[in-house]
Each structure stands twice: as structure tokens, then as C-alpha cells.
Amino acid sequence: MPAAKPSAQAKSAPGKSNLSKMLKFDVQNYHKVRELFDLPTLSPLVGKANKSAPAPGLQLTLLKELDVIIGVDEVGRGCLAGPVVSAAVLLPLTRLHPSLLKSLSELDDSKKLKADVRERISDVVRASCPYAIGMATPREIDEINILQASLLSMRRAIAALSEQVGIQKALVLVDGNKQIKEMPFAQLTVIKGDSKSASIAAASVVAKVHRDSLMRELALQYPVYGFDSHKGYPSISHRKAIAAHGHCDEHRLSFRLLAEVEEELEDAGLELEQV
């Protein structure tokens, strides 16, 4: 039994260390550009849990005192079906209540987290922080291409969050290397930001959980495609379902829907029925 306690401590330490590192990344980048963009000064230093801060759930009454760093990220770019979904999240970085720090200790890039961990963290973020969702439909993706649709969904998420909380100035940390056009706020692009920035990581988790839920709903509407299992990504089972049943309104017609199945069947000496 004595050996179990150090093991548990060792297991939890990396998560807390990573969270602290991501929080500091956000604040340090904010300070680097604050004067350039005439942004407000941040108050208490991140990393020191503010025991006088209110418990999670009361954040909307504090917006004038909170820092305004918004993280934004999208999910679903590589899918064959469904919308591309973005989330914008305003973490109270410099006024984190100890209970919120503990609840977010496993925060990371959504792709690195198990589904149950993502859902738990998403629940915490949505209950404790201002956030908003933005989407671009499959038809919009076909019309303007997936990159522009992803940026459009990000802009919609930020606009919805801005309207919700009424902020005038903010620094938006954008995952990736492309800036968002027609943005009213200062922005910094961060390559692999969902692994570096707490704000972007929180957005990636919220967006991923939201989109997965949407795809489960679409699975009920279009049961033959298995959207609840592959979430619209180009799995072999998804390609085969398209080959057997054709596409539906949720498929992105500008994508090569049948490419992998065609190649695999050709290699096996079989033919694919045209749809």
C-alpha cells in the first residue's frame, strides 16, 4: 500500500504541469503583444490559484475584471460528411479558482484525450467559462473550400462569443497558421496550438464533443452510414457505406468520397458499383 500513493502522485503530476505550462503560454503571449494591440493589463499572475475568486459558474458577472484571451479551434476538417465545427472559449486565466484548476488538470489537445475525459472537461469548460460554437455546413464547404469554411466557422464562433459577453478588446489565439479575416479583435496564430495553449485546448475539446454529439444525431437520421462510430471521417466502413448507398445531404461533394474504397477493390481485382 505505501507504494501506491507515490504512484498516484506521479501519475497526476504531468497533467498539472502541462496545464500550468499551457496557461503560462497564453499569458506570456498576451503580454508580448499587449501594447502593440492596446490591450488591457492582466491582473493576478497565472499559476497562483486565486482562492478569493468565485467558484466556477459565476464567470459572467466578472467579465470586466477578467483577462480577455479567447482560444478558438475547429474540428472536422478531414471528414467526408457533416459540418466543420469551431468553438471559441474565454478561460478566466488569471482568476482560476482552485477547484477549476483541479477540474482542468487533464486539459490537452482533444485528439490526445479519451472520449470520457473529453466529455468531462467539456462539461467543466461549458459550465465555468464563456464559450460559443460556430459551424459551416457541407454545402458551404463545397462552395468555398474546407480551409475557408473552417475559418468561417471560427469567425462565427468568435462573433457569437463577443455578442454573448460584450467585450470590446481581446486577443484571439487561433489554432494553425491562417489568420481569420474580418476579425474585430487582435489575433495570433499558433501552430499546434491545441497542444500549447490552454485556451485553444479548451476550445478544441468543446468543439470536438459538440461535433461528436451532432454526428450521433445524424446517425439516427442516416443510419446506414455509421456516423456514430466514425463521426464522418474517411474510414473504410464509411467509404463502403457510400459505395453501397450513395451520398446523403450531409456528405461533402467536393471531397473524393470513394477514393480509398476504389483503390482497395481494384487491388483486390473487384469492381465498385457506381453511385
Instruction: For 184-229, write each residue's pLDDT tens digit.
Output: 999 999 999 999 999 999 999 999 999 999 999 999 999 999 999 9
- Shared-domain flag, residues 249 and 128: no
Going by pLDDT thresholds of 50, 70 and 90, the confidence category of residue 17 is: low
CATH of the domain at 120: 3.30.420.10
Whether residue 89 has pLDDT greater than 60:
yes
- Shared-domain flag, residues 37 and 147: yes
Whole-number Å distance between alpha carbons of 133 and 154? 8
**Count of domains forming the chain:** 2
Find the mean pLDDT for residues 249-273.
67
- Shared-domain flag, residues 60 and 140: yes
Helices within the chain (DSSP H only): 4-37, 98-103, 115-128, 138-144, 146-165, 198-221, 227-230, 236-245, 259-267
- Shared-domain flag, residues 20 and 73: yes
- Shared-domain flag, residues 199 and 263: no
Find the mean pLDDT for residues 79-106.
88
What pLDDT is attached to residue 41?
78
Does residue 3 sit within a domain? no
What pLDDT is attached to residue 12?
40
Whole-number Å distance between alpha carbons of 31 and 41? 8
Contact between 129 and 92 under an 8 Å Cβ cutoff? The reply is yes
What pLDDT is attached to residue 65?
45
Counting beta carbons within 10 angstroms of the beta carbon of residue 115, is it exposed (0 to 12), middle (13 to 18) or buried (19 or more)? Answer: exposed
Does residue 26 sit within a domain? yes
- Shared-domain flag, residues 198 and 82: yes
Beta-strand relationship, 171-175 and 131-136: unpaired
Give the range of the structural domain holding residue 259, as residue numbers without chain letter: 223-267
What pLDDT is attached to residue 91?
86
Counting beta carbons within 10 angstroms of the beta carbon of residue 47, is it exposed (0 to 12), middle (13 to 18) or buried (19 or more)? Answer: middle
Write out the three cell numbers for 95.
482568476
- Shared-domain flag, residues 122 and 228: no
- Shared-domain flag, residues 146 and 233: no
Does residue 275 sit within a domain? no
- Shared-domain flag, residues 151 and 232: no
